[in-house]
Structures are given as structure tokens and as C-alpha cells.
């Protein structure tokens, strides 16, 4: 864990709450002024020098606070450019990964496009956008390239995998916030002379929702730890991106949304769907994030192939080798 995580968290808690619900033009300058976009850029290159665990914490807060800004995209983009020794342009940098729509493309100063041949950084002037929306109403735009890239980027890292991790961390925060809202609601709503929380069926449903929120947080934290181990070149985590941990986490996001979102809405009733109430702003994001950068079936297939590649004995050896890599050696 980086030494600055606690003050970083304190700052994010206040700022992200203030920015929730603001439009891009008003909110984005305040986010960039706080320096979050250079979180993963090393200090020697003018950045914050944080790690993937720091990013997971920030994204969890962003998900909980319903921050409608492309924080993950610009942090990962600037990390990728810094890793390649390329100066990042000013403004928002987003991704167009494979066939996925680009988050906030219409607002981007530049976009990183990944293809089978690698990555390239295109300026806004070389892009036209077909505007679309996520289930939460946030920009998701289809890209048509009309000009040449500023630079090409030699990388073997799959951007969809990194962005899939980001959606898991954001989802963990959003589901935890949905749990908090639900607990508050059933603790104050009275039916038949007592609060809803006093009914055994409601208590059981809350327990199931809490399980899903906890499982998703654990999955996000596990993927972040694996990413830090990968970047540090620790043992079995050295080399390629930790696809195993990220695939497991992204698949777990789908399960958590499938199980947790209906419980939150059932216990709220009709109020959970009203635009003035925050629950649907969390759950609509969750339902969009489970499908972005690969849906449930995509990530379950990836995880299944990894798990079955060498048989049951090889799976256990792989799991222990990867986890042992994270244990400090005395």
C-alpha cells in the first residue's frame, strides 16, 4: 500500500461526492486540478506514483459516490503512455478497445485505439463520434477514424483487461452503496407496526445482498494486488497481465449484479426506480459495467480456459504459486 493512500482517500471522499451529478464541463476541471489523472504515473515522470491498490480504492469511492466522470480511463491511459515514455496530451484521454464503444469519447482530447497490431494515440481532430449512452445515461460513443495517429504504442497489454478490472472496482463501490441505502430504507420504513428490517425474510435478503457486496470487494482487491505483483515482477505474477485474477473478478461482478441488484430493488419497492432517489443511479451503472469490456460469458470462458489448461493438479499449483508470490520473503 502506498504511504499516501489515506490522505488520497480522504480527498476523494469529499471531492467525488461534490462532483456527483455535475455535468462534464463543470466537473472535469476540478477532478484534474486534484491530480488524480496522474495517479499511476511515477513520481520521476511528474506523476503521483501510486499503485493499482490506490486506483482500486479511488474507483470504489467513485462507484459509491456515483461519480459520472471517466476517472479510470484517463488514469490507465496516462499510465500506459508514461510506461511507453510518451508525453500525454492535455485533457481527457479515453480508449476505443476492440469493438467496445469509447467511454466519454465526445469529450476526449485524444483516444487510444487498440487493434491486433498494437495501440495508437489519435487526436480529437482525427476522430468522429456516433453518440450513444450507457444504461446510466453516460456517454458511450462509437469511433470512426478520419486522420492519422499522433504516435503508436508498443504494448502487449490488453486494454480491455485493465478496463475490466476498473469496472469491477467501481462496481464494488456501487454495490456497497446500494447495500447501505437498502439497510437505511428497511430500518426506517414501517409496515404492520414494525420496521421492515424486523421481518425475517427481509433480514435474510439483506444478508444475501451483503454477501454479494463483500464478495465483489474481495474480488476487486484481489485483482488489484495481483496487478501490483505483476508490475513489480513478483514470482509467478511476472510477465503477462494477471488475467486469471481479473477474469475471476469480472465474472464475479456479473454474479453480484445478477443476484444483488434485484434484492436491493425488491426491498425498496417503487421508490428505488424514481430518478430523484439514488438507488437506480447505482444499479443502472452496475448493469452497464457488467457488460462493458466483455460480458459474463466472455470472462467466464477466459477463466474456464485458464483453470482447465493443465488439469486439476496444475490449477492448484498455479493458484498457490501466484498467491505465494505476494507473501514477503523473510
pLDDT digits (tens, 9 = 90+) for 212-258: 999 999 999 999 999 999 999 998 898 889 999 999 999 999 999 99
Report, as an integer, the average pLDDT of 105-112. 97
pLDDT of 313 reads: 81
Give span(s): CATH 1.20.140.10, the chain: 159-324
- CATH architecture label of 159-324: Up-down Bundle (1.20)
Tell me if 203 sits within 8 A of 197, measured CB to CB.
Answer: yes
For the entire predicted model, the pTM comes to 0.95
pLDDT band at 99 (very low <50, low <70, confident <90, very high): low
Give span(s): CATH 1.10.540, the chain: 5-153
Average pLDDT for the chain: 94
Q: Topology of domain 5-153, per CATH?
A: Butyryl-Coa Dehydrogenase, subunit A; domain 1 (1.10.540)
Amino acid at each position: 500500500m502506498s504511504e499516501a493512500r489515506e490522505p488520497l482517500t480522504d480527498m476523494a471522499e469529499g471531492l467525488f461526492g461534490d462532483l456527483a451529478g455535475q455535468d462534464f464541463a463543470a466537473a472535469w476541471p476540478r477532478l484534474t486540478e486534484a491530480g488524480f489523472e496522474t495517479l499511476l504515473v511515477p513520481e520521476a515522470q511528474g506523476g503521483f506514483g501510486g499503485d493499482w491498490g490506490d486506483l482500486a480504492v479511488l474507483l470504489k469511492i467513485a462507484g459509491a459516490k456515483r461519480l459520472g466522470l471517466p476517472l479510470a480511463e484517463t488514469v490507465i491511459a496516462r499510465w500506459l503512455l508514461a510506461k511507453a515514455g510518451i508525453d500525454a496530451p492535455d485533457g481527457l484521454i479515453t480508449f476505443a478497445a476492440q469493438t467496445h464503444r469509447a467511454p466519454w469519447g465526445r469529450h476526449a482530447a485524444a483516444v487510444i485505439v487498440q487493434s491486433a497490431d498494437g495501440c495508437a494515440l489519435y487526436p480529437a481532430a482525427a476522430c468522429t463520434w456516433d453518440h450513444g449512452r450507457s444504461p446510466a445515461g453516460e456517454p458511450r460513443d462509437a469511433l470512426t477514424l478520419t486522420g492519422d495517429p499522433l504516435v503508436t504504442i508498443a504494448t502487449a497489454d490488453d486494454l480491455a483487461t485493465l478496463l475490466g478490472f476498473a469496472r469491477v472496482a467501481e462496481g464494488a463501490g456501487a454495490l456497497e452503496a446500494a447495500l447501505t441505502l437498502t439497510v437505511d430504507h428497511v430500518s426506517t420504513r414501517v409496515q404492520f407496526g414494525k420496521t421492515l428490517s424486523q421481518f425475517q425474510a427481509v433480514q435474510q435478503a439483506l444478508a444475501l445482498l451483503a454477501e454479494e457486496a463483500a464478495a465483489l470487494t474481495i474480488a476487486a482487491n484481489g485483482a488489484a494486488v495481483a496487478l501490483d505483483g505483476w508490475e513489480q515482477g513478483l514470482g509467478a505474477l511476472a510477465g503477462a497481465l494477471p488475467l486469471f485474477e481479473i477474469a475471476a473478478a469480472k465474472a464475479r461482478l456479473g454474479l453480484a449484479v445478477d443476484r444483488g441488484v434485484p434484492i436491493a430493488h425488491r426491498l425498496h419497492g417503487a421508490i428505488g426506480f424514481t430518478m430523484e432517489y439514488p438507488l437506480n443511479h447505482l444499479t443502472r451503472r452496475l448493469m452497464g459495467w457488467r457488460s462493458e469490456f466483455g460480458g459474463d460469458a466472455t470472462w467466464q470462458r477466459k477463466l474456464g480456459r485458464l483453470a482447465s489448461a493443465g488439469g486439476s493438479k496444475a490449477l492448484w499449483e498455479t493458484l498457490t504459486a501466484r498467491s505465494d508470490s505476494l507473501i514477503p520473503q523473510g
